[in-house]
Structure 1
Amino acid sequence: MSNEINQQRRGLLGMAALGVAAGSLGIISAASAQSGTGTAGAPPLPAGGARTSFAPLKQVDAGALKVSYAETGPANGTPVLLLHGWPYDIHAYVEVAPILAAAGYRVLVPYLRGYGGTRFLSEETPRNGQQAALAVDALAFMDALGIESAVLGGFDWGARTVNILAALWPERCKGIVSVSGYLIGSQEANRMPLPPKAELQWWYQYYFATERGEAGYRKYTHDFARLIWELASPKWAFDDATFNRSATAFDNPDHVAISIDNYRWRLGLAKGEAKYDEIEKKLAASPTIGVPTITMEGDANGAPHPDPAAYAKKFTGKYAFRLISGGIGHNLPQEAPAAFAQAIMDVDKF
C-alpha cells in the first residue's frame, strides 16, 4: 500500500477540499461506477458480467522469473498491462479484462513475484521485494513478449510499479491509470516519522519488521490477507468464494519472503540489491511523470493513501483525477471494474 498519507483528509473529505480546484485538476466524479457508464459522451461499456476466472494461464521466462499470466483479447490489439498489489492477485482484474478485450485490447495480467504460479528461475536469486525489483520484473515481462509500449494500469504495489515505469521508462508507456496516484517512495523519505494516527494505519508494516511478525504472517497468511481486505475495503461485501480464489495465490513458496522484504526495505531494515541502486537513486528524487495519466480513488478506501492534491503536480502531462463513489475501497479494479476499464480506454485516447 502507498507510502504516503495525510491523515487529516481522506476519501470524500479530501475531495470536498478540492472542489474549487476540480476544473484545473481535471477531476471527474464517477458516481455510477458499476452502472457501465463512462465519461461524458462515451458509449456505454459492455457489461463485465459475473466473471470469476480467466482462460488457462500462460507462462513466459522473463528476467529472473518464469511469469504466470492471464491473456485475453486480440493478439494484434493495443497491449494493456494490469498489475495487482498486496495482498491481492490477478483476480482483481477478472471483470476488467473482458471489458477491455471486447473493446479490442490485448490484455495481460501477470502474477507478481511471490504470487500464484510465478516462480524464480534460480534458487540463488534473492527474494527481494523492493520497488525497483518489481519494476524491472514488469519491463522484463514486456520484453519477453515483444511489447515495446503498452497502456499500464495498477493499484497498490501495481500502481507504484506503473508510476516507476512511467517516470523512468516513459517510452514504454502509452498512458497509465494509477489508483491512489503517485506512490513512488524512498528509504530516506520513509525515515521521517508520521503523526501517531497515521503511524497506526501502518501497523502491519511494523509487525512485519519483527521475527514474530514474519512467523505470524507465515502461519496465518490467509487470515492476515482477509483482514487487510476487510480493513482496506470496509464497504466491499466480498464473499468467501471471491477471497478464496485470490488466496490460493498466497500459497506461492516465495510469497511470505517477498512480502516481508518489501515492507522491511521501505523502513530501511532490508538493504535491497546493489544492482538496483542507480534506479533507487533516481526514484528517491521523486521524479515527475509526463505520460498521459488518470489517477483514481475510491470514496471508501480504508488503506493509507495520499490526498489527491498532494500528488497532482507530479503528473506533468495530460492528467485527470477520478473519484469513484458508491463505497469503493482499496481494490478499485475488482470493486468498480467498469470504471477502471473506462479509465484505461480514456487514457489511451488522451
Structure 2
Amino acid sequence: MPIQTTDDLAITYADTGPRDGQPVLLIHGWPDDASTWDDVVPALNAAGLRTIVPTLRGFGETRFVRDAPRTGNSAILAMDMIALMDGLGIERFMIAGHDWGSNTAEALAVGWPDRVERMAMLATPPRLGGMPTPPFEQAQRQWYHWFMATERGAKAVRDDHKGFAHIHWVNWSPPGWFDEATFARVARSFENQDWADVTLHSYRARWNEAEPDPRSQWLEDKVKATKTLSLPTMYFQGAVDGVNPPSASTSVPAKFTGPFAFVTLNGVGHFIQREAPDAVARHLIQLFTGNPADLSDTTDRSLIMSKTKPFLAGAAAIAVVAAAIGVASAQTASQTSGRPLTQVAQFDHQATGVAVTADGRRFVNFPRWTDDAPISVAEVMKDGSLKAYPDAKWNSWRNAKSAEMPVGDYFVCVQSIVPDGHGNLWVLDPGAPGNEKILEGAPKLVKVDLATNRVTKVIKVPLNVALQGTYLNDIRFSPDGKTGYITDSGTRGAIIVIDLETGKGFRALDGHGSTQIDKTVKVMTDGKPLVRPDGRQPAFAADGIAISNDGKTLYYQALTGKTLYAIDTALLRDGVSEATRAAGVKTVAQTHVADGLWMSKAGTLYLTSPVTNGITRLVGDHVEPVLTDARLRWPDTFSEGPDGRIYVTASHIQDTNWFKPGAPASLKTELFSFAPAK
C-alpha cells in the first residue's frame, strides 16, 4: 500500500480507479479502518470515479514521523487529509466520510470550500455551530464519551483496545450484522501504538475536556462559527442506528442550504457502508456524478444480508459500564426515543387542535377536511367520551345542509381551539370545509366563557382580511387578552391581527417571505415525499405560532418551510408600516418541517416534526430532539396542562385520502401527552 509523508505522518492509503476520474476521498470512522470502504470502492471506480482511501492517524499502518502531539480532533484530521491531497497533487475533490470521517469531511468543507465540491456524511451529524450538551437520552447512548473522560475509563481503554471497540460493534447495529473474523481483521488496526492516545483525545476535545491540537484551533473555531453549508450534500441515516438514531439527526437538513438529500436506510445501523454497501455505492454515485438539482430525500429499503450473530466479548469493565447505564438497543431507538409519550385519548375522526385549561379541562376539535365530522369542538371527559362543546347546536353544521344553515351561527370547519388565560376558550373557524373555498361569512372567532359554557362573542373576519384562499390556522393571545394573532397558512401567508374588543382586524407581513412557503422544501413522511396523486405536495404558508410569556415576541413558521421567524409584537400594532414590520423580522433558527409551535410556561419553545414523528425544542439558535414515537403520526397542535405536561394531537395527515387514494374518509387519530423537557 502506498505511503504519503506529511509534516507529521506517514499516511497509508489506497488510490484506485481511473487516474483521470473525478477524485473522491473516502474517510473511515471509529472504531473502524479503511477496509470499511472495500465493498463500495469497486462500484465507484466502475462509475469512472478515482477513489483515495486513507488510514487515519492512530490506525493501522499510518505512523507519526516525529514527536508531534497525538491528537485526534476533527480539525487536525482534516488538516491531515489536506496534506495528503496536496501530496497527491489533487486540488479539487469530493468526500464521503463515516463517523469520525463525517465530521472530518465537514471540517474540510468549512476550511477549504474552494476545494471540496460535494460531500456525503454517514451516520454522524454535523457539528456546525458548535456542539450543545446532548439530551439525556442521547447522552446515555454516548456513555463511552464520558467514560473516556475519566482516568479509570482511559486506563480501561488502554488495557483492552479490542474489547472496547467490540462492544460498539455489537451495540450500534442490529444483531448478526458482522462476523467475528471480520472484526478480528479490523481490530488489528487498533494495535497501532497511538490508537488509544488519538482516540482519547478525540472524544475529550469535543467536550472541552482537552484542548484541540493548537495548529487546528483556527479550523475548530471556524466550524463552530459556521451555521450552514451550501455545497451539494447527502446525509445517510441508519434507521436502527444504536448510537445516532434518527432522533439525533432531525436538525441536519436545516444546516444545508444548497442541494441536499437525506437518505434513510431501513434495517441498517451505524456501520452503514459495511451493512449496505450496494445501497451506499448507488447513492454516492448519484451524488458524485449526477445533477445536484436532482437530489431528494429517500428511504432505501434494500435487503440487508445478516452475518453470523456475534458473541459479546471484550473488557469486563466496559461491558459492566454499558449494561449499568442501559445502552439503548438499535431496534428500540428506531421506534421510539426520548421522553415517554402517553396516549390520552383516541378518536374516530381527524383531530387537529387541543386545548387544556387552567383547571385541567381538555378539549379537541375536528376540522371537516376529508369527512363531515359529526362534531366540531368537544370536551374530552374523564372517561374518554366526547361532549359537544359548548352545546349541540353550535356543532350541528353539516356540509350537506350548507345551503340551509347560516354560516355565522355554527362551527363550519374548526381548525384550532385556544384558551386565552382569562377564562375563555376561543374557537378559530376558517370556514373552508375540505381546506378549500371559504364560505362567505364563515371565517370567525368564537369566544366561549368556560365558567358558563356559553358563547359570549362572535368576531366575523371580513373578506378583506380573510381573503379567498386564506386558511385561518392557529391563534395566540397577548397576555392582557386584548389582541389575537392568527397565522394564515393559505395561498398568501400572513399574520392576521385581531382586536378582540372591537373585532377589527388587519393583515400584517402579507406576502412577506417569512410567512410564505419555502419552495425548496420537500415534505417527507415515512421516508418518501408526501404528494397527492396529481403530484402536489403540502403547500402551507405561515402555520405554527407561539408567543413569548411576556407577550413581546411572536414566533411563527411556514409548515412547508425550515426557518423559524420572530417579530416584536409592538410592530404588529395598527398603523405600523409594512416596511417597518419587514425590517423587524428576525430569523431565529433553521429548523425542519413543523406544524405546531408552543411556548411553555417554563419558556421552552416546542415544535412538532411530522417528518420524524417527533417533537423538538428550540435551544439557542438551533433545535434539539425531545422525542420520537412511531405512534405520533403527524404531530399537529400543542397545549399545556396546569401541571406543565405538554399535550399534542396526532392528526395523521399523511394517512388521509388526500395522499392515500382509497383511504377511508374518517381516520382514527389520537391525543398524547409528555412530561416537559428539562
Range into which the TM-score falls when normalised by the shorter chain: 0.7 to 0.9
1:272 aligns with 2:212: yes
Deviation digits for residues 267-325 of structure 1 (CA, Å, limit 9, x no counterpart): 21111233222212111124311111111111111113564431212111111111111
> Quick one: structure 1 residues 346 and 224, their matched pair in 2 at CA, closer, same or farther if it must change by over 3 Å?
same
Alignment partner, residue 148 of structure 1 = 91
Alignment partner, residue 137 of structure 2 = 197
- Measured after TM superposition, the shift of residue 234 of structure 1 is 2.4
> Quick one: structure 1 residues 177 and 129, their matched pair in 2 at CA, closer, same or farther if it must change by over 3 Å?
same
- Measured after TM superposition, the shift of residue 168 of structure 1 is 2.6
Higher relative contact order (CA 8 A, sep 6+): 1
Equivalent of residue 346 in structure 1, options 286, 301, 313: 286
1:78 aligns with 2:22: yes
CA distance in 2, matches of 1:181, 1:212: 27
CA distance in 1, matches of 2:170, 2:224: 32
1:130 aligns with 2:70: no
Identity %: 37
TM-score by length of structure 2 reads: 0.41
Alignment partner, residue 220 of structure 1 = 160
Ranges in structure 2 where 5+ consecutive residues have no aligned partner: 293-678
Moved more, 81-90 or 70-79: 70-79
What letter corresponds to residue 310 of structure 1 in structure 2? S
What letter corresponds to residue 110 of structure 1 in structure 2? P
> Quick one: structure 1 residues 74 and 189, their matched pair in 2 at CA, closer, same or farther if it must change by over 3 Å?
closer
Equivalent pair of 2:110/2:226 in contact (CA under 8 Å):
no
- Measured after TM superposition, the shift of residue 260 of structure 1 is 0.3
Deviation digits for residues 182-222 of structure 1 (CA, Å, limit 9, x no counterpart): 42267x744x3x44322211111111111211111111111
1:294 aligns with 2:245: no
1:320 aligns with 2:271: no
CA distance in 2, matches of 1:236, 1:102: 30
Equivalent of residue 259 in structure 1, options 192, 195, 199: 199
CA distance in 1, matches of 2:124, 2:258: 14
- Measured after TM superposition, the shift of residue 164 of structure 1 is 1.4
Deviation digits for residues 130-160 of structure 1 (CA, Å, limit 9, x no counterpart): 1210111111111111111112001100001
Equivalent pair of 1:166/1:290 in contact (CA under 8 Å):
no
Q: How does 1:6-25 map to 2 (within 5 A)?
A: none
Alignment partner, residue 3 of structure 2 = 59
Deviation digits for residues 70-101 of structure 1 (CA, Å, limit 9, x no counterpart): 22212221111100111011111010011111
Equivalent of residue 169 in structure 1, options 104, 112, 117: 112
Alignment partner, residue 121 of structure 2 = 178
- Measured after TM superposition, the shift of residue 67 of structure 1 is 0.3
Equivalent of residue 233 in structure 1, options 162, 173, 184: 173
CA distance in 2, matches of 1:127, 1:308: 30
Equivalent pair of 1:166/1:173 in contact (CA under 8 Å):
yes
**Across the two proteins, how many residue pairs are aligned to each other?**
289
Structure (1/2) with the larger strand percentage: 2
CA radius of gyration, larger in: 2
Residue 236 of structure 2 aligns to a residue whose secondary structure is strand
What letter corresponds to residue 141 of structure 1 in structure 2? L
CA distance in 1, matches of 2:8, 2:32: 22
> Quick one: structure 1 residues 313 and 181, their matched pair in 2 at CA, closer, same or farther if it must change by over 3 Å?
farther
Ranges in structure 1 where 5+ consecutive residues have no aligned partner: 1-56
Equivalent of residue 34 in structure 2, options 64, 81, 90: 90
What letter corresponds to residue 214 of structure 1 in structure 2? A
CA distance in 1, matches of 2:239, 2:85: 33
Equivalent pair of 2:124/2:244 in contact (CA under 8 Å):
no
Deviation digits for residues 219-248 of structure 1 (CA, Å, limit 9, x no counterpart): 111111111011111245211111111111
Deviation digits for residues 103-143 of structure 1 (CA, Å, limit 9, x no counterpart): 22111110011001111110x20001112101111111111
- Measured after TM superposition, the shift of residue 181 of structure 1 is 5.9
What letter corresponds to residue 220 of structure 1 in structure 2? D
What letter corresponds to residue 16 of structure 2 in structure 1? T
